[in-house]
Amino acid sequence: MSAATPYPAAAGPVLTLTVNPTVDLCWDVDHLTDVGKNRARVRSVAGGGGGINVARGVARLGGRAMAVHTAGREVGSRLNSLLDEEGLDHLAVGIAEETREALVLFETASGRSHHIVPPGPRLDEREGQRLLDTLGQAIGTSRYVVASGSLPGGLSDDFYAAVARRVGAAGSRLVLDTSGPALRQALAEGVFLFRCNRTEAADLLGRPVRGFDDALAVNAQLLATGAAEIAVTTIGALGALCSTRHGHTELRAPPPPGKLISDAGAGDSMVAALTERLAAGDDPVAACAWGVAVAAASVLTPGTEPFDREVAESLCRDVGIRLRTG
C-alpha cells in the first residue's frame, strides 16, 4: 500500500479498552531455588493489562491515548492511583470483585523472566453493559479504538463483537488483540485490524504457524472472510506479516543488539506502535514496520518494563521489508 492511500490522522486520542487489567508486581531475585526462601527486590509496581499497556506505549511514542478499564475493590483503587501517578489518562468502570494482581519474576543470574498471571475477577452482565456504555461515550472523536487482552469470567463470548458494533457505529476503527471464543465472534462481526501471535494464528488455521508461508495462509483467510481489513500475524523472532487488500508484506525483525530478556510486553508494544502511527496517518506497512522495531526493543527489557525509544528507532532501520508476490 502506498503512502498516498488515505489514512487520516486521528482527531482524538487513541482509545484503549482493558476488560481484565492488572497491577503488575515486578520483582528481582538473584537465583530461584526450591529450598528455603527466595529473597526478592521490588523492581516496579505498575498498572497493566493489554489496553493499559498499549495506551502507555502510545503515550511513550508521543501520541495521545486514553485507557478505559475496569477497577474493583482495593487492588482496583491501587490501579487507579498508579495510573494517576503515572499521568496516564484513564477512565475506570467500577466492578464488584477484586482486580487481579500479576507477578513478573526476573532471575538476574539467568536473565530469565517468569510472568505469573491469575484469571482475575468475574463480571456480571450489568457490569459488562456499563463498560460498553462507558466505552461508547468515551469514543468521541477517537478514530482508533484498541481492544486488547483476555476476557474475565462472567462475560459472554460475544462481548468483543458488541465492542466492534459500538466502535463501528461511532465511525471509528477497531484494532483487536485477543484470543479464544471471544476472538472468533468478534472476527465474525468484522474489525479494522487484527493482530495475532503464532499461537492464536495456529488456532485459527488449524495447524502450527512456523513461518511467513503459514502466516500468509492465516492472513489471507482473515481478509477473504471479511474478518479484518488489515491482518497482522507475528511470528516470534522472525518478525511479522502485514496483509491488506493490496497485498502481503513480510517484515523481518532486525538482529537483536543484546540478550533477549522477556517477551512479556512485546505484543502490546507492537500494537501501541502500529496504532500510534496509523493514528498519525501512516500507511499500514510503515506502521507495522515500526511496530516490529518497537517489539524488538521491548524484549531487551526485563518483565513489562517500557521499551527504549532510541533503541527502537535504531532497530527500525534494519527491519527487512519484502512484498510477497504469491
**Domain at 301, CATH number:** 3.40.1190.20
Q: Is residue 4 part of a domain?
A: no
Where does the pLDDT of residue 168 fall: very low under 50, low under 70, confident under 90, or very high at 90 and above? Answer: very high
177 given a catalytic annotation: no
Of 268, 283, 308, 318, the catalytic one is 268
Q: Is residue 142 part of a domain?
A: yes
Closest CA to 147 of 234, 45, 228: 228
pLDDT of the residue at 35: 87
Say whether pLDDT at 19 is over 60.
yes
Say whether pLDDT at 5 is over 50.
no
Instruction: Please give the grid coordinates belonging to residue 148.
Output: 486488547
Q: Is residue 124 part of a domain?
A: yes
Where does the pLDDT of residue 9 fall: very low under 50, low under 70, confident under 90, or very high at 90 and above? Answer: low
Cβ atoms 287, 274 nearer than 8 A: yes
Say whether pLDDT at 304 is over 90.
no
Cβ atoms 39, 29 nearer than 8 A: yes
Q: Is residue 3 part of a domain?
A: no
* Domain containing residue 97: 14-324
How large is the average pLDDT for residues 54-77? Answer: 97
How large is the average pLDDT for residues 213-218? Answer: 97
Contacts of 35 (CB under 8 A, 6+ apart): none
Where does the pLDDT of residue 303 fall: very low under 50, low under 70, confident under 90, or very high at 90 and above? Answer: low
Q: Is residue 8 part of a domain?
A: no
How large is the average pLDDT for residues 125-144? Answer: 96
Where does the pLDDT of residue 305 fall: very low under 50, low under 70, confident under 90, or very high at 90 and above? Answer: confident
Tens-place pLDDT, residues 68-115: 999 999 999 999 999 999 999 999 999 999 999 999 898 888 878 888
Where does the pLDDT of residue 217 fall: very low under 50, low under 70, confident under 90, or very high at 90 and above? Answer: very high
How large is the average pLDDT for residues 184-189? Answer: 95
Where does the pLDDT of residue 3 fall: very low under 50, low under 70, confident under 90, or very high at 90 and above? Answer: very low
- The total domain count for the chain is 1
Q: Is residue 2 part of a domain?
A: no
The pairing of strands 228-234 and 40-48 is unpaired
Q: Is residue 7 part of a domain?
A: no
Q: Is residue 131 part of a domain?
A: yes
Specify the residue for cell string 471479511: 226
Indicate the pTM of the whole model. 0.94
The pairing of strands 191-196 and 173-177 is parallel
> CA neighbours within 13 Å on the CB side: how many for 153?
8
Encoded amino acid at 230, one letter? I
Tens-place pLDDT, residues 246-265: 999 999 999 888 777 777 78
Per DSSP, helices labelled H in the chain are 50-60, 73-86, 125-139, 159-169, 181-189, 198-205, 212-224, 266-279, 284-298, 309-316
